[in-house]
Structure formats: C-alpha cells, structure tokens
Homo-oligomer: A and B are copies of this chain.
Amino acid sequence: MKGYGMVIVNEAGWLDKPEPTPGPLDAIIRPTLVAPCSSDTHTMHGGAGPKDDLILGHEAIGIIERVGKLVKNFKKGDKVVVPCVTPDWLSTGVQNQRTFSHDSFLMGSFKFLLSKDGTFAELFHVNQADANLVKMPETGVSDEAALMTTDMMSTGFHAAELAEVQYGDAVLVIGIGPVGLMAVAAAQLKGAGRIIAVGTRPICIEVARSYGATDFVNYKEGDVAEQVLQMTDGRGVDRTIIAGGAGDSLHTAIVATRPAGVIASVNFYDINDKLAIPSLAWGLGMSHKDIRGGFCPGGAERIRRMLELIANDRIDPSKLVTHRFYGFDQIPEAFKLMDKKAPDLIKPVVYLDRDDPAAAS
C-alpha cells in the first residue's frame, strides 16, 4: 500500500507499507479528502523526535473499507468523518479528564503520527470505531467543512472552551492561522464582545473579520501587549487565546490579560521554546491569571457537535480552504505548500477521489 510521509527526519516521500488490518473494535478507512497540517510538517522536520518510515496526515474523511467483528454501528461503505484524536476508551485514564485527550499517557489519545501511520495513505486504521467515528451528515455539511472539523475547528473551539469566554468579554487571539481563525469564530460563538486578533496576512485578516474579529494588532507596529493595553484603556483583555508564536506569545498574553482573566493556549510549542511567566505581570503569583493549555478533545461526540454547528449554519469552516488539489498523487504538492506557508495560504486540501473540475471543463 502506498502512503506519503517521512522517510527520515527532513525527508518526505512515498512509502510502501502493508495494508492495515482492523482489531475487533476497529475500522479501516479509505480516505477521500485529506488536509496536511503544520503538525505534519513539524513532525517531518523532527519536531516530535527522530522517526522514519512513517505515513503522515491526521485530518481525513473517507469511506469505511473494513470493520472489526465487534463493531456495531458502522459497516463497509459508510462515509465517515474521522477525529484526529481517537482515545482508547477502555483505558482508565480517560475517566479522569473532561477532554479525554491523554488516555494512557500524555497525548496518548492522539494516535496518528504518535503511535501509528497517518491518513495520507490508500487505507488507514481507526481504533474503536463505534466511539471514534461519525457518520457524514446526509445534508447540510460539505466535505470540506466536515474535514475542517477533524482538527482545525475542534482545536480552535477548544481554545475558547479553555478560555471560558463569557458574554461581553474582550478576547485577544494571538495568531490567526487556521486554528487561530477557528478560535476567533469560537470566541464569537461563546459570546465575546470585542475580539482583538494579532496577525498581518491580508487573507487571514479578511477571514478573521468574517468570523467576528473586531480589531487587529500588527506586531510590526510595536509591542503587542502594549498595543492591547492601550486599546483597552489599560484594563487588559478578559481572555487571551494563544494560537501561534513561541514563548513570546505567553509573555504577551500574561501582560495583556486582566487580573482574574484566563490565558488559553492551543499552540504546539517547540521543545526548545522558553515559556517564561513574567513575574511582575503575573502579580508575583497573586494575579489569578490562569494559564491553561492543551490539544483538542477526542472522540465521536466532539466531532458530532462541530458538525451540528455547521449543519445549523452557525459557522462555515470551509472558508479556511484556500487551495485545492485533486488526486492521490497531489498529496506531496499540498504538503509542500503547507511546509512553505505561502502568504496566501490558510489551508490546502486534497481530493483523493475526484479529478480537478476545472481540468474537466
């Protein structure tokens, strides 16, 4: 079976691997639409340590090819949306967490890339299908919108959950790549008043505005925290969401957030990032500025809820899709685009089951 991934650190390429087989509770999926993510490129560059011969990809929708004997609610041919986080629900770890993210160990519920091959393949494996797969809604949700729920939307919305946005809150969103953009939409859908976004790329600013951002800060025009404090008459924002940057984002967040506010991070830091809490701005420990951070919740219900939001016209995450590719052999092109982070890129997708409609005409 063919798959695309990392041959070794810093080298992406085609791999040939045996077809996956399902355990009794599992399913094998033939992907029809996939998207590369910066976590994929980050992994390829060694960000998750040395790995080789690993198929990348963790965002996909597709068609079930096989199911294990004990699977009850799905069968071959079902079209499904696949969460990027698929906990082992029989581990006891999930019983102590609201997000089910860390089944047997830190991040354990994230299986793709971390403990098995990913979705850039002819076929891929999903554990515990009944608890981790969601049927594609028959109407009201496009393939692209559904694909965006699997990581970008679920992660961005988790940021607003971690931040516990309240009605009328001023919310700062640092970073408006695809996850930050979803966090903007999520903050609006939790009742934020003002939403201040930090970013400079025109395409991102435009989409952020459409998702509810009311103000923008350009880090090239001065210290971000200072600008935010000025915009809020020295008061600071009620909540800050970190969806980009390195350790400096944390510093900015703590300075820009009011006492008893919340800093919520969904940023994937580098192992070498310096995450320093500025002692004075954190009130020498007395400020009640909570610092929270984690990746997106796992399981089928999580994604079903995201799909409900789309089906009921609360949000359209397919606005994130700026580039479309057609055909399995185009995965490398999409991957390279994500790796380069072109200025007009938010998110590329690859249709694996259809030809370019433009080419057809």
Instruction: Please provide the chain A residues from 275 to 297 with a CB less than 8 Å away from any CB of chain B in the complex.
Output: 275-280, 282-295
The interface bits of chain A over 71-107 (1 if a CB of B lies within 8 angstroms of the residue's CB, else 0) are 0000000000000000001111011111111100111
Secondary structure of the A contact surface, majority rule: loop
The interface bits of chain A over 152-188 (1 if a CB of B lies within 8 angstroms of the residue's CB, else 0) are 0000010001000011111000000000000000101
Q: Is A139 positioned at the interface, with any CB of B under 8 Å from its CB?
A: no
Of A7-15, A262-270, A331-339, the segment with at least 4 beta carbons within 8 Å of chain B is A262-270
Copies of this chain in the oligomer? 4
Cα distance A157–B295 in the bound complex, in angstroms: 29
Q: From B271, B284, B285, give the contact of A284 (CB < 8 A).
A: B271
Q: Are A190 and B193 in contact (CB under 8 A)?
A: no
Given the known A-B contacts A91-B131, A193-B308, are A98 and B98 also in contact in the complex, defined by CB atoms under 8 Å?
Answer: yes
Chain B residues lying within 8 Å of A271, measured Cβ to Cβ, are 279-280, 284
Distance in Å from the Cβ of A45 to the closest Cβ of chain B?
14
Q: Are B101 and A288 in contact (CB under 8 A)?
A: yes
Chain B residues lying within 8 Å of A321, measured Cβ to Cβ, are none
Q: Is A210 positioned at the interface, with any CB of B under 8 Å from its CB?
A: no
Count A-side interface residues using an 8 Å CB cutoff. Answer: 88
Chain B residues lying within 8 Å of A273, measured Cβ to Cβ, are 279, 284
Cα distance A96–B167 in the bound complex, in angstroms: 11
Q: From B101, B275, B290, give the contact of A290 (CB < 8 A).
A: B290
Chain B residues lying within 8 Å of A170, measured Cβ to Cβ, are 308
Chain B residues lying within 8 Å of A25, measured Cβ to Cβ, are 70, 90
Q: Are A293 and B301 in contact (CB under 8 A)?
A: no
Q: From B95, B99, B131, give the contact of A301 (CB < 8 A).
A: B95
Q: Is A201 positioned at the interface, with any CB of B under 8 Å from its CB?
A: no
Q: Is A259 positioned at the interface, with any CB of B under 8 Å from its CB?
A: yes
Given A167-B186, A190-B190, A191-B314, 14 new contacts (CB under 8 A): A89-B94, A90-B130, A95-B300, A96-B301, A101-B286, A167-B305, A168-B306, A168-B307, A189-B190, A214-B313, A250-B277, A265-B285, A269-B282, A283-B294
